[in-house]
């Protein structure tokens, strides 16, 4: 479904991705782990076409990214950004229903609002949040609104960039279950970035570890603990010493 082949990306002198190769079959959930600043977010943005790789190919459903019909391409995606990226000029419900209020999926306002409130409920938010502005919400609530916006138009491919960072453990559990549910129920293909190992175990079919610009290890989540890979082991157990330097 999503195939990255030898993708490179540098920002000026800083080489971020140096040959990333990944394959996500349709309807599966891949979790990308790796230290901060290793290029996990950049990888997702390359797939979405928000960042153009310097080299390598990315295909989605067999089609190369950056083809002709960009709107149709993007309509298949939902994305939760690391910082939420809510539009602070509009209330929460209009954020969630953004796609449903304009463009190809446009529908009557009250219908869009109802869908938005239903999606908010799914991420554990009460209907009275709908008319607040993003700036009035806590960080965790913003994240959940971002999640509701990502799933509002029921996309086939969903990217979650650190969905549980900044949430309390209970809410993190709710979100993990929700992501799992979306993948199973909607049959969506998912790529999730997280640092949270309980999230990895709850969400992932497959795990990929990004380090030094390449995928150091990739495989089914069941094999993660017995991989024998020193990088992966250090990351899973959160050890300060090992092959990954703590100062980066």
Partner 1 sequence: MITGTLAGLGRATLALLAGLGAGAIFLARTLAAMLRPPFYAREFGHALLTIGYFSLPVVGLTAIFTGAALALQIYAGGSRFEAEAVVPSIVAIGMARELGPVLGGLMVAARVASSIAAEIGTMKVTEQIDALVTLSTDPMRYLTVPRVLAATLSVPVLVAVGDSIGIFGGYLVGTGRLGFNHAVYLQNTVDFLEFWDVASGLIKGAVFGFLIALTGCFYGMNSGRGAQGVGRATKSAVVAASVLILAANYLLTEAFFSA
Ligand X SMILES: Nc1ncnc2c1ncn2[C@@H]1O[C@H](COP(=O)(O)OP(=O)(O)O)[C@@H](O)[C@H]1O
Taking CA 147 as the corner, what is the angle to CA 144 and CA 150, rounded to the nearest 5 degrees? 155
Residues of span 39-68 touching ligand X by CB under 6 A: 39-42
Segment near partner 1 (CB under 8 A), from 99-107, 116-124, 177-185, 217-225? Answer: 99-107
Q: Is 128 exposed, middle or buried (0-12, 13-18, 19+ CB in 10 A)?
A: exposed
Q: Does 99 bind partner 1 (CB under 8 A)?
A: yes
Q: Does 164 bind ligand X (CB under 6 A)?
A: no
Q: Does 10 bind partner 1 (CB under 8 A)?
A: no
Structure tokens at 132: 């607040």
CB of 143 within 8 A of CB of 84?
A: yes
| Count, residues near partner 1 per rule CB under 8 A | 24
Residues of span 36-65 touching partner 1 by CB under 8 A: 45, 48-50
Q: Residues with Cβ < 8 Å from 14, sequence gap 6 or more?
A: none
Q: Does 95 bind Mg ion (CB under 5 A)?
A: no
Centre a 10 Å sphere on the Cβ of residue 11 and count the other Cβ atoms it contains.
11
Helix boundaries (H) for 187-228: 197-203
Minimum CB separation of residue 200 from ligand X in Å reads 15
The footprint of partner 1 (CB under 8 A) covers: 45, 48-50, 70-71, 74-75, 77-79, 81-83, 85-88, 98-99, 102-104, 149
């Amino acid at each position: 479904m999503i195939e990255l082949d030898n993708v490179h990306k540098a920002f000026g002198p800083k080489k971020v991705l140096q040959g990333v190769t990944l394959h996500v079959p349709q309807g599966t959930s891949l979790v990308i782990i790796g230290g901060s600043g290793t290029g996990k977010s950049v990888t997702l943005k390359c797939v979405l076409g928000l960042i153009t790789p310097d080299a390598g190919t990315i295909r989605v459903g067999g089609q190369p990214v950056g083809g002709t019909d960009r709107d149709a391409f993007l309509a298949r995606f939902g994305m939760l950004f690391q910082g939420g990226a809510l539009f602070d000029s509009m209330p929460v419900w209009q954020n969630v229903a953004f796609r449903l209020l304009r463009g190809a999926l446009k529908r009557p306002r009250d219908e869009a609002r109802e869908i938005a409130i239903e999606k908010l409920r799914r991420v554990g938010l009460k209907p009275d949040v709908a008319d607040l502005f993003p700036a009035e919400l806590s960080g965790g609530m913003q994240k959940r609104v971002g999640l509701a916006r990502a799933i509002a138009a029921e996309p086939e491919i969903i990217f979650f960039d650190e969905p549980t960072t900044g949430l309390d453990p209970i809410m993190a559990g709710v979100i993990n279950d929700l992501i799992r549910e979306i993948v199973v129920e909607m049959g969506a293909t998912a790529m999730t970035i997280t640092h949270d190992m309980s999230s990895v175990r709850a969400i992932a079919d497959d795990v990929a570890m990004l380090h030094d610009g390449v995928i150091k290890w990739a495989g089914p989540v069941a094999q993660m603990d017995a991989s024998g890979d020193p990088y992966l082991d250090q990351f899973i157990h959160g050890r300060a010493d090992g092959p990954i330097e703590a100062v980066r």
